[in-house]
Structure 1
Amino acid sequence: MAADPNWAVLPSVTLVEIFSYLSHDDKLRASSVCKRWRSCLFHPNLWQKIYFQLHSSKRMKTKFLADRCGHFVREITIKFCSHNITDVRECGRILEIMKINKNLQQFCLQPSSCHMEWPDNNTVYLFDRYLDSVEGIIRNSRDLRHFSLGCLEELLEHSSTFLSLLGRHSRSLRCLHLASVKEDSEGYRIVELDPKLFHPFTTLQQLSIDYDHLTNQLLESFTFHNKTKLEKLIIHVHGVEADHERITNSSWHCIRSHCPNLQVTLNLIHSFDGVEALLDILQPSLPLTHFRQFFCTHLNTTAICYFATHYRTTLRSIHIIDGLMDGYPVPYTSAAEEDPFVMLAWRCSLLTDFTLIGYEIADEDVIAISRLRGMGLKKLDIPRVCITTVDEPEEDEMWGYPLQINFTAFSEQVSDGLSWNWHPLDDQELPLAVFDADADAERAYMDILLEEQQPISAC
């Protein structure tokens, strides 16, 4: 009878191959078999992608992985609380490790806020270390494909420097995210960004950028100066300068002809100016796919009607969120006879996601939207507090009692139109900033914006 096999002497290549099929937890269990198996656990082929979470409960694990795998990992995402000084320091430490990693291909920051909380005693020193590490990552990596700074305003003020350095990756870089978030849309410094810096990038598929830097010349660089077929353009609108160059319909037509699969996302963030200038920003040939408006204090219904007319074959999602006024939704007026959102649902055949928070909408219009879009509408987020009724007043209301909506019957009607179970959002499902103007509004939109900057498998 043959002796029992000696699993400890299996060739390393065989062990690594076996480990590659195991889940993370199963790899850890297998590594406890013996010292040799544990040594195979940290083979570079098993740690090509690491998602670092700097939350206190995961900090020790993250520190260990960064020290052990940071010099060879190919894809990293760092999620951290940018208002927590300990997280900021640890993120900086990981960046210092990564700047000597020549194998890094995907680099993605996911902060909780667009601003960093720096320690008072050495702010300049720590920030300079951040800049040095990010520049080192760009210089030393051989084949960078995805680069995202997570909307961090302080770092993105140095976009021109980063973009110049990224030129060495012009034939490999596919995703570049330089869009920022500015909570004060009326008081920020606009950094110069030369459109010519984008000319060398021949493989770029995704780009996010602030509207401040969007010019006809920049769009032309993706039409005439390189062979890239841009597929996704994300534009963040904050303030809008009176002398900002208007993007012509001709420029949008040219880039759309050159990049037939181009999808454009327009994000207005704390942008009163953006809502006011929306009809100047929009052009018929702009392939608008996603429109989002976060805490802009008012609604441009004329622009919504424009969507229904010009983006019938491109628009896929609408996400509008604002704060309540003294606890009540804000009414909007429209020159059109029909509600603009009903017209949108009727005409935009690809619309799958619709969110409207902070604005008053009639119950019959919600029902109409559900029936017009049917099961094609996968997401319909409207708060209970924002839904009103236009029914004729009953006797109780004439005596001073407010007319109440029967939300059970109403939800059933909407569900019937959608062919899936639907209910309006309750107060506890809404971001705190909807009720409290002093609350942190970033919690309502940062995850949405950062989701767009996540590395994709194609990268």
Structure 2
Amino acid sequence: MKRGRTGLKPKCHAFPSQEGRAKRQKRVASGFAMAPVEDWGNLPHHVVLQIFQHLSLVDRARASSVCRCWNDVFHTPDLWRRFEFELNQPATSYLRSTHPDLIQQIIKKHAQHLQYVSFKVDSCTESAEAACDILSQLVNCTIKTLGLISTARPSFMDDHFVSALTVVFVNSKSLSSIKIDDTPVDDPSLKVLVANNSDTLKLLKMSSCPHVSPAGILCVADQCHGLRELALNYHLLSDELLLALSSEKHVHLEHLRIDVVSENPGQTQFHTIKRSSWEALVRHSPKVNIVMYFFLYEEEFQPFFCDETPVTHLYFGRAVSKEMLGRIGLNCPRLVELVVCANGLEPLDEELICIAERCKSLTAIGLGECEVTCSGFVEFVKMCGGRLTQLSIMEEVLIPDSSYNMEQIHSEVSKHLGRMWFPDMMPTW
């Protein structure tokens, strides 16, 4: 055998023909070909409308200048049914204000389409004047929802604002939802509201409206038989109001929210609501949620929960005494949720166990600056069982004792809850 020879035949690589090279290049080119570019101007109208609804007013206005199609969408009535006027002034707020020229364009072209309107204002006079000016121009719209959101306590001019708001009440015949805080709304303006929207009003939220009296809110309850949600300050709550909401003419109330606030400790007198009035409300609306937010000082709690009260949600924004929590356990059998911001340095074992024993519907609890022994807390959880869907307890609240330490508490509580649980921990920065 001659050197360099093997039994294998060498492979011969023939050069492809010109036609073959052309076919191969065509295949490669087609493999890397980019998909045709979509023409954004040809997107369906409803798709562009959905996009516009997620844009701020400024971005929406800029997008409308892209093409004629988008400009047509910009003027679609459906796009202007819901709108929030941001009237914060740059000198007093970090939030960007809606440009006055855009506001005038909206009022001129789309006022008749507005249905869900809210105003975001701050404390300056310019912000209040802008809100009043816009309200006075909403004479051809059919507003269903009206809200005033305050980023700071506004300094409204009483007569000007009430007059402007009354114009809206007169011209809107289908108002179903109103949320007005920190405004000079008064009894006469509420009477105008009732006269024009009694058949449609379902939700009324009012807080910090000092010119409204119990008689004014009673007028609303007497005439607006479709009310399903009512939020007000405690000083407007009365036996007559609860009885009016319990009449046969009324639909079943779903939510009653009550803010119990004291800004001058020792100077605010709180009245007591009769047990029979509460019972009438619950008898008429068995599923009503009664929510109470307390911002009181300890010496001001005396009139509350001395008798059975059908409250379902309780939130204490300031310290509350052991005695008060003991009353809750005895007199709040419908309680569903309890949040206590602070208590003091006295363990709340007995009070929590009483609440677990008497409040069979309790599903959520939160404790802030309080104290509970680990044994007392485990007993509370054991009595509530798996019905506790929310359990928020700061680690500092729990006091280790002879039965449980901090390493054991989470496993014992988890066992009774039926899920993994840990106490909340204060973040360290």
Q: Does 1:76 align with 2:110?
A: no
Mapping of residues 164-183 of structure 1, within 5 Å: 164-167=191-194, 168-180=196-208
- Alpha-carbon shift at residue 106 of structure 1 (Å): 0.5
Residue 174 of structure 2 corresponds to 143
One-letter amino acid of the counterpart of residue 140, structure 1: N
Instruction: State which structure, 1 or 2, has the greater radius of gyration over its C-alpha atoms.
Output: 2
Residue 298 of structure 1 corresponds to 320
- Alpha-carbon shift at residue 427 of structure 1 (Å): 5.7
Mapping of residues 124-143 of structure 1, within 5 Å: 126-143=157-174
Q: Distance in 1 between matches of 2:288 and 2:280?
A: 11
Secondary structure of the structure 1 residue equivalent to 2:339: strand
Q: Does 1:219 align with 2:248?
A: no
Mapping of residues 225-244 of structure 1, within 5 Å: 226-238=249-261
Secondary structure of the structure 1 residue equivalent to 2:312: strand
Mapping of residues 19-418 of structure 1, within 5 Å: 19-22=48-51, 24-25=53-54, 31=64, 34-52=67-85, 54=88, 56-60=94-98, 64=102, 67-68=105-106, 71=111, 72-80=113-121, 82-83=122-123, 91-92=131-132, 94-97=134-137, 99-113=138-152, 115-116=153-154, 118=155, 126-150=157-181, 152=182, 155=183, 158-167=185-194, 168-180=196-208, 191=213, 193-194=215-216, 195-224=218-247, 226-238=249-261, 246-272=272-298, 274-280=300-306, 283-284=307-308, 286-295=309-318, 297-299=319-321, 301-312=322-333, 314-322=334-342, 330-332=344-346, 339-391=350-402, 407=406, 409-418=408-417
Secondary structure of the structure 2 residue equivalent to 1:193: helix
Instruction: Determine which structure has greater relative contact order: mean sequence separation of CA pairs < 8 Å that are 6+ residues apart, divided by chain length.
Output: 1
Residue 25 of structure 2 corresponds to none
- Alpha-carbon shift at residue 263 of structure 1 (Å): 1.8
Identity of aligned residues (%): 17
Q: Distance in 2 between matches of 1:138 and 1:77?
A: 15
- Alpha-carbon shift at residue 202 of structure 1 (Å): 1.4
| Alignment check: 8 A CA contact 1:354 1:380 kept | yes
| Alignment check: 8 A CA contact 2:272 2:304 kept | no
Q: 1:110 to 1:354 in 2, by over 3 A?
A: farther
Q: 1:389 to 1:42 in 2, by over 3 A?
A: farther
Residue 424 of structure 1 corresponds to 424
| TM-score normalised by length of structure 1 | 0.68
Secondary structure of the structure 2 residue equivalent to 1:199: helix
Q: For each residue in 1:373-395, what CA deviation from the matched residue of structure 2 results, as whole angstroms up to 9, or x when unmatched?
A: 45533333333343333349xxx
Structure 2: gaps (5+ residues): 1-37
| Alignment check: 8 A CA contact 2:166 2:193 kept | no
Q: Distance in 1 between matches of 2:267 and 2:219?
A: 22
One-letter amino acid of the counterpart of residue 303, structure 2: A
Q: 1:367 to 1:133 in 2, by over 3 A?
A: farther
| Alignment check: 8 A CA contact 1:174 1:205 kept | yes
Q: 1:347 to 1:254 in 2, by over 3 A?
A: closer
- Alpha-carbon shift at residue 169 of structure 1 (Å): 0.8
- Alpha-carbon shift at residue 290 of structure 1 (Å): 0.6
Q: For each residue in 1:344-365, what CA deviation from the matched residue of structure 2 results, as whole angstroms up to 9, or x when unmatched?
A: 2344333232122222233333
- Alpha-carbon shift at residue 257 of structure 1 (Å): 2.0
- Alpha-carbon shift at residue 174 of structure 1 (Å): 0.3
- Alpha-carbon shift at residue 201 of structure 1 (Å): 0.9
Q: 1:412 to 1:21 in 2, by over 3 A?
A: same
Count of matched residue pairs: 374
Secondary structure of the structure 1 residue equivalent to 2:223: coil
- Alpha-carbon shift at residue 204 of structure 1 (Å): 0.8
Secondary structure of the structure 2 residue equivalent to 1:261: coil
- Alpha-carbon shift at residue 61 of structure 1 (Å): 7.0
